[in-house]
Chains A and B, each alone.
Chain A
Amino acid sequence: MALFAVFQTSFLLALLSLRAYQSEVLVEPLPLTPESLNVSIDSAHQYLNLQWSVHSLAYYQELKMLFQIQISRMKTSNVIWVGNYSTVVKRDPVLHWSWKSELPLECATHFVRMRSRVDDAKIPEPRFWSNWSSWKEADAQKSLGRDPLFLFPKDKLVEEGSNVTICYMSRNQQDNISCYLEGQQIHGEQLDSNVSAFKLNKVSFIRKTGTNIFCKVDQKDVIKGIVLFVSKVLEEPKDFSCETQDFKTLTCTWDPGTDTSLPKRSSQSYTLFESFSGKKILCEHKNSCNWQVDSDSQEMYNFTLVAENALGNRSVSVLFSLTHRVHPKTPYNLFLKNVSGTKATVTWKVHPIGNYSTLLCQLDLLGEGNVIQQHNVSIKENGEYLLSELEPDTEYMARVRCADANHFWKWSGSISQKFITAEAAPSEALDVWRNVKSVSGRPTVTLFWKPLSKLHANGKILSYNVTVENLDRLSGLEVHSVPATANGTELTLDQDSYQIHVTALNSAGPSPASVIVVSGDPGNEEVEEERVNGTEDGFSVSWKPQSGKAIGYVVEWCDHPQDLPCDLQWKNLSSNTTSTVISSGAFRPGVRYNFRIYEISTERMAYLLEKKAGYLKELAPSDNPQVVVSNLTSHSFTLSWKDYSTDSQPGFIQGYYVYLRSKAEKECHPGFKKATLPDKSACCQHRIDNPEQKTFVMENLQPESVYEFLVTPYTSAGSGPLDAFTKVTTPDEYSHILIRIILPMIVCVLLIMITCYLKSQWMKEKCYPDIPDPYKSNVLSLIKSKENPHLTIMNVSDCVPDAIEVIHKPEGSKIQFLGASKSLTETEFTKPAYLYLLPAEKNYSGPGPCICFENLTYNEAAADSGSCGHFPVTPEALPGQPGPLTSPENLLKALEKNYMNSLGETAAGEASLNYVSQLASQMSGDKDSLPANPPEPVLCSEYKMQMAIPLGLASPPPAENSGLSSTTPLDQSEHYR
């Protein structure tokens, strides 16, 4: 019993103590101080990794706890970070937590401690912090080695725009260290005696090979560097969408944005995740991904695309129904069939989408790049459509694209096919005009037509048919075929009226005929021309209807009136039109355009109605007329410019300005007014208002004065150039009288002189013969008749010549002879050679005194010397035998021969000797010129006769020759020596 009591007491005490303990636990705060705190360093990511445990949770499976962590740098008192970490602690837990340091952990020692507190609702308050754990040191410097300098972090990868802290640590405090970022020195914050840090804010991408940062110890060969790789910011994928073409594959596409790849570091990757099925695939491409549709069961899809690189990720999602994302494949087999001039059938095929899907196809008809028709066709597989309202001979393009008919998402790709419709006959008649002119008296009609537009030609025009029908006589139709390249033809007709049909032909047939009636009678061409003003829009032409039966009007003009052909143009106008504006790109200012308005009668005959002429813009004349001066008197002259055409000027000539200026006259004549020329000089101006007045008389002028005049036309735009004045000098008042007297006198004198010249030989013979004939002398007859009837004239034959004087003159001395007489005496050859025909006896006595006629014409030198000239000239010896004559022997021989001829042959009437010789008197003259043994002076007068006889007159008349001792014709050339 006692044992039971003891056991019971003990049990109660134990129970009490247990209850007491339990109540103490529940009331007092739990002393869950972190234990076994361990700090490690992750240098690559600059993390301080903390690991600790919480001892004995005792009665709780799990408990929410709050841990407060303190981190100090360099020393424990330098707390740089304090933070809380809340977590649910389970039984016997080992807890982990990391702290990322901005400063590279290698550059400074870090200290960590923590404390904890229960933060669980199961534990009633108040709750208390546990005690701090002891400081734990994290020192990475110990493992660095013994290098003198370190630079951290090593080759870090950051995103563009982030902040980076770089630090260096030197072993030697005395070292002077300088650091450079991309070659530029940077200065940092000194954390310790041997640690400095540099904070780089918002770093930017420079190059793919990274940003270089290096530090070096001055004066030492120590350098440390790092490369900071700055990656482009990873962008969220843009334009993310998915679609299917066949309900088997979903193709998702997106725009990846900037490439963030760096050397040795891969670019961003893309992952596609579908939330309904929970499937996930890694995409092979950067901008697209294919997702296999397993079955028809899944209608809705929720895709999330995640872009990820080493620094982070971006994602984008899309939710859609598969049937709403159908993008059909491009249709195929597009063909055109049954293509006619206006219709064509288009067929095509599509790839089927599912069993019940219907496609809506859009068929476009394009002409010249523009959509002309658009049709929507719903089809399953095969499409067909009949295109109508097409133009013949026109190129079109049929284009087809399709989309899901139930839920439009996107058009498929397009397929297109070109085709050309067939030709049809031209749909419109040609626009024909004519020009009738008379060639050699026959009317010639030139037909012009404008080519049909493509719209109306309906095909390639092969030729034009011109059918001519005589309206006045019954005759067959005349058909002309004109090639397609021509735009007109010429027909030669007669005076009858003709109806001309013109049609254009293509492969499908002719066009409607264009009918025109022409007549040989051109009708009334005498229509007064009116003027029409040109504007920027063209010429506004109006006319007055005449007959009232016109079926239309035609205005005709030339685009290039100054050219040939003038490029005839015409414009058809309806019968109720009486005005029109004629415009053409060819119209130029300063060109006169002539418009002719024709009325088309009901017989389709054209009658000239009106003529108009005008300028698009009048210009001032560019040239002045060629002015002719006439009727020049001492007081007036007439100006005339009748050749000046007023029609071919750059404006309507309204008149002329006549300018006159004179230095002699300061005042202007009546009718003139003073004007100033562009060169500031003054002149007088007279205005002629009538363009057809093309003469002007300048009056009231001063005699013997210089006048300058200029005639220039003027138009509404101005006058012609004022540059070239023409000078006119007025004669004096008597000049015309003088001219009337002096001119005839001059003419008379001239006539006399000409007559004298023509009759000079006769005059010479009559008035002053070379050798006067004593028989003809009047003196002789006078003497004979009055004083001595027996007195006779001595005959020359009575004198016996005793010597021939030969004088040779070389040709080369001609100039000398002419130049100076002195040279004659100095020239050896010119010395006279004497040939003695009779014995040179001293006592020789001649037959008596002779009369000596001396003609000095032949040798002036000889005349000067006082001796008669003796010219031994032999034609054979002169040019051909200069040599023999130079030697005395040859000369003598020649002369001997001549002499013999002269004695024997000359007497017989021949004249082989052609010089005249006579005795020379040696009495007077130059003694030096005489030979060493000169003949004795002849006491009597010598007969010295010379006569020049032309070669043609070699045989003189016997009557005249009979008195001469010897006569020899002289060579003509010698005659002039």
Chain B
Amino acid sequence: MLACLCTVLWHLPAVPALNRTGDPGPGPSIQKTYDLTRYLEHQLRSLAGTYLNYLGPPFNEPDFNPPRLGAETLPRATVNLDVWRSLNDKLRLTQNYEAYSHLLCYLRGLNRQAATAELRRSLAHFCTSLQGLLGSIAGVMAALGYPLPQPLPGTEPTWAPGPAHSDFLQKMDDFWLLKELQTWLWRSAKDFNRLKKKMQTPAAAVTLHLEAHGF
């Protein structure tokens, strides 16, 4: 009996009349967010190449790996694998949201300092895309019922160099900003892929439960 009910309910989303009014759940949003991260990855590859050439050697050299001197305020994407696996959905999404909020601010600062109009256009375009990703993550969080993290007052990240901040250190920070952004996009792709897979099975169960209740 239960199996029968399950079978019927499993196919309910396929019925157009029912599907039109039903909530599709966070699945499509997660898929869209995943797609957006992959798109941004692609976009960043081009942007980073241009920007690092603009900074000049050694920043545009492929094996250049400077220490993270002045970029401590940047959100770190690298995390222990076990820790990453143990993250729950809410925390995972929250970290993503916070990271991109900060990175977007820094990126806008980068845009203001860029000397060439072409670079400014590219950066502005990327900022718009990143803003879209942020909105997409917020949408997934809302769909799952998680609240958006509120920024603490007075902790608005800035990317303005301090008085003792040399131009070389500034370039290092720019380098790290782009590198961290790239790492975050890789991580986010994995995050949302994991979330997507995870949501497929339980989401069906939730749907089943809700629909069964409806019966």
Any chain B CB within 8 A of the CB of A222?
A: yes
Q: Given that A210-B56, A212-B59, A214-B58 are contacting pairs, would A223 and B167 also be in contact in the complex, using a CB cutoff of 8 Å?
A: no
- A223 CA to B166 CA in the complex, in Å? 13
CA distance A227 to B168 in the complex (A): 6
A221 with B57: CB separation less than 8 A: no
Q: Say yes or no: A209-B58 contact (C-beta < 8 A), given A155-B168, A223-B66, A227-B166.
A: no
The reply to whether A183 and B171 form a contact with Cβ atoms under 8 Å apart is no
State which of B61, B67, B69, B171 has its C-beta within 8 Å of the C-beta of A209. B171
A180 interfacial by beta-carbon distance below 8 Å = yes
Given A182-B57, A263-B115: A221 and B167 within 8 A (CB)? no
Residue from A155, A182, A208, A222 in contact with B166 in the complex, judged by beta carbons closer than 8 Å: A155
The CA-CA distance from A182 to B56 in the complex, in Å, is: 7
User: Min CB distance, B117 to chain A, in Å?
Assistant: 13
Q: Mark A58-98, 1 if CB is under 8 A from B, else 0.
A: 00000000000000000000000000000000000000000
Residues of B145-199 at the interface with A, using a CB-CB cut-off of 8 Å, are 166-169, 171-172
Contact B113 A212 (CB under 8 A): no
What A residues does B169 contact at CB under 8 A?
A: 225
Of B54, B113, B172, the contact of A225 (CB 8 Å cutoff): B172
Select from chain B the residue with minimum beta-carbon distance to A206: B56
List A contacts of B67 (CB < 8 A).
Answer: 221-223
Which residues of B sit under 8 angstroms from A569, Cβ to Cβ? Answer: none
Asked if A263 meets B113 with Cβ closer than 8 Å, knowing A182-B56, A212-B58, the reply is yes
Interface string of B49-75 (1 = CB under 8 A from A): 000001111110100001101000000
Q: Are A212 and B115 closer than 8 Å at their CB atoms?
A: no
Interface size on A, residues (CB 8 A): 23
Give B161's nearest chain A residue, CB to CB.
A264
Which residues of A in the span 214-272 have a Cβ within 8 Å of any Cβ on B? 214, 221-227, 229, 263-264
**Interface residues in A176-234 (C-beta closer than 8 Å to B):** 180, 182-183, 206-212, 214, 221-227, 229
Cβ–Cβ contact A183 & B168, under 8 A: no
Bound together, the chains give a CA A628 to CA B171 distance in angstroms of 99
Among B115, B166, B168, B172, which residue has the most Cβ atoms of chain A within 10 A?
B168
B168: nearest chain-A partner, CB-CB:
A225
**Is there an interface contact between B57 and A212, defined as CB atoms closer than 8 Å?**
yes
Cβ proximity bits A271-295 to B, threshold 8 Å, 1 near / 0 not: 0000000000000000000000000
Docked-complex contact A183 and B61, CB < 8 angstroms: yes
Q: Which residues of A contact B69 (CB under 8 A)?
A: 223
| Bound CA span A229–B57, Å | 14
B56 interface neighbour in A207, A221, A222, A226, Cβ under 8 Å: A207
Give B167's nearest chain A residue, CB to CB. A227
The answer to whether A183 and B58 have CB atoms under 8 Å apart is yes
B167 touches A210 (CB 8 A): yes
**Are A208 and B115 in touch, CB under 8 angstroms?**
yes
Q: How far is the CB of B115 from chain A (nearest CB, A)?
A: 5
Contacts of B171 in A (CB 8 A): 209, 212, 225, 227
Q: Could you tell me the distance between the alpha carbons of A224 and B113 in the complex, rounded to whole angstroms?
A: 22
* A209 pairs with B168, CB closer than 8 A: no
Q: Which residues of B contact A642 (CB under 8 A)?
A: none
Closest to A181 in B: B57
Residues of B close to A212: CB separation below 8 A: 55-59, 168, 171
Question: How far, in whole Å, are A229 and B167 apart by their CA atoms in the complex?
Answer: 10
* Per-position 1/0 for A395-416, Cβ under 8 A of B: 0000000000000000000000
User: What's the least CB distance linking A259 to chain B, in Å?
Assistant: 12
Q: Are B115 and A209 touching (Cβ within 8 A)?
A: yes
Q: How many angstroms from the CA of A211 to the CA of B69 in the assembled complex?
A: 20
In the bound complex, how far is the Cα of B66 from the Cα of A936, in angstroms? 139
CA distance A973 to B49 in the complex (A): 103
CA distance in complex: A209, B119 (Å): 13
Q: Known: A209-B56, A221-B67, A223-B67. Contact between A214 and B168, CB under 8 A? A: yes
Complex-state Cα separation, A155 to B61, whole angstroms: 21
B166→A154 contact, CB < 8 A: yes
Task: Give the residue name and chain of the A residue nearest to B116 (CB).
Answer: A208
Q: Are B57 and A183 in contact (CB under 8 A)?
A: yes
What chain A residues lie within 8 Å of B66 (beta carbons)? 223
CA distance A512 to B153 in the complex (A): 101
Task: Quote the shortest CB–CB distance from B60 to chain A (angstroms).
Answer: 9
Does A155 lie within 8 Å of B57, measured CB to CB?
no
A897 to chain B, nearest CB (A): 89
CA distance A652 to B169 in the complex (A): 95
Chain B neighbourhood of A225, CB < 8 A: 166, 168-169, 171-172
Residue in chain B with minimal CB distance to A213: B168
Q: In the bound complex, do residue B167 and residue A155 qualify as a contact, i.e. CB atoms below 8 Å apart?
A: yes
Question: Which one of A155, A209, A214, A229 lies within 8 Å of B55 (CB-CB)?
Answer: A209
Closest A-chain residue to B67, C-beta based? A221
Q: How far is the CA of A211 from the CA of B171 in the complex (A)?
A: 12
How distant is A146 from chain B, measured CB to nearest CB, in Å? 15
Task: Give the distance in Å from the alpha carbon of A574 to the alpha carbon of B47 in the complex.
Answer: 83
Q: Kindly list chain B residues whose C-beta atoms are within 8 Å of the C-beta of A208.
A: 115
Q: How far, in whole Å, are A154 and B161 apart by their CA atoms in the complex?
A: 15
CA A611 to CA B70, docked complex, whole Å: 104
Q: Which residue from chain B places its CB closest to the CB of A212 in the assembled complex?
A: B56
Report Cα–Cα, A222/B54, bound state, in Å: 24
Closest Cβ–Cβ distance, residue B148 to chain A (whole Å):
36
Q: Would B55 and A180 count as touching, CB distance under 8 A? A: no
Contact with B along A926-961 (1 / 0, CB 8 A): 000000000000000000000000000000000000
CB-nearest residue of chain B to A211: B56
Considering the complex, give the chain B residue whose CB is closest to the CB of A226.
B168
Q: Cβ of B54: which chain A residues have Cβ within 8 Å of it?
A: 207, 209
Residues of A within 8 A of B57 (CB): 180, 182-183, 212
Give the distance to chain A from B39, nearest Cβ to Cβ, in Å: 28
Residues of B within 8 A of A264 (CB): 113, 167
Least CB separation from B59: chain A residue:
A212
Residues of chain B lying within 8 A (CB to CB) of residue A180 = 57-58
* B-side contacts of A223, CB under 8 Å: 66-67, 69
- For B73-99 the 0/1 string (1 means CB < 8 A from A) is 000000000000000000000000000
**Cα-based distance from A221 to B65 in the complex (angstroms):** 10
Q: Closest CB-CB distance, A78 to chain B, in whole Å?
A: 30
> Complex: how many Å from CA A63 to CA B56?
56
Q: Give Cα A154–Cα B167 distance, bound, in whole angstroms.
A: 8
Q: Which residues of A contact B56 (CB under 8 A)?
A: 182, 206-207, 209-212
Q: How far is the CB of B122 from chain A (nearest CB, A)?
A: 16
A214 and B56 alpha carbons, distance in the complex (Å) = 12
- Chain A residues 140-186 with CB under 8 Å of chain B are 154-155, 180, 182-183
- Whole-angstrom CA separation of A238 from B172 in the bound complex: 40
- A182, B166: Cα distance in complex, Å: 17
Q: Cβ of B166: which chain A residues have Cβ within 8 Å of it?
A: 154-155, 225-227
CA distance A390 to B67 in the complex (A): 85
Contacts of B172 in A (CB 8 A): 225
Q: Smallest CB-CB separation from A261: which chain B residue?
A: B115
Considering only residues 34-51 of chain B, those with a C-beta below 8 Å from chain A are none
Contacts of A221 in B (CB 8 A): 67
Interface residues of B in 85-131 (CB under 8 A from A): 113, 115
Which residue of chain B lies nearest to A263 when distances are taken between CB atoms in the complex? B115
- Hey, which chain B residues are within 8 Å of A224, CB to CB? 168
- Shortest Cβ distance from B170 into A: residue: A227
* Complex contacts, B61 vs chain A, CB 8 Å: 183
| 15 more A-B residue pairs beyond the given contacts A182-B57, A209-B54, A212-B58, with a C-beta to C-beta distance below 8 A | A180-B57, A182-B56, A183-B58, A209-B115, A211-B56, A212-B55, A212-B57, A223-B66, A223-B67, A225-B166, A225-B171, A225-B172, A226-B167, A226-B168, A263-B115
Q: Give the A-binding residues of B (Cβ under 8 A).
A: 54-59, 61, 66-67, 69, 113, 115, 166-169, 171-172
Between A and B, 21 residue pairs with Cβ closer than 8 Å are A154-B166, A180-B58, A183-B57, A183-B58, A183-B61, A209-B54, A209-B56, A209-B115, A210-B167, A212-B56, A212-B59, A212-B171, A224-B168, A225-B166, A226-B166, A226-B167, A227-B166, A227-B167, A227-B171, A229-B167, A264-B113
Which 9 residue pairs across A and B have the least CB separation, nearest first?
A183-B57, A225-B168, A227-B167, A155-B167, A221-B67, A263-B115, A182-B57, A227-B168, A183-B58
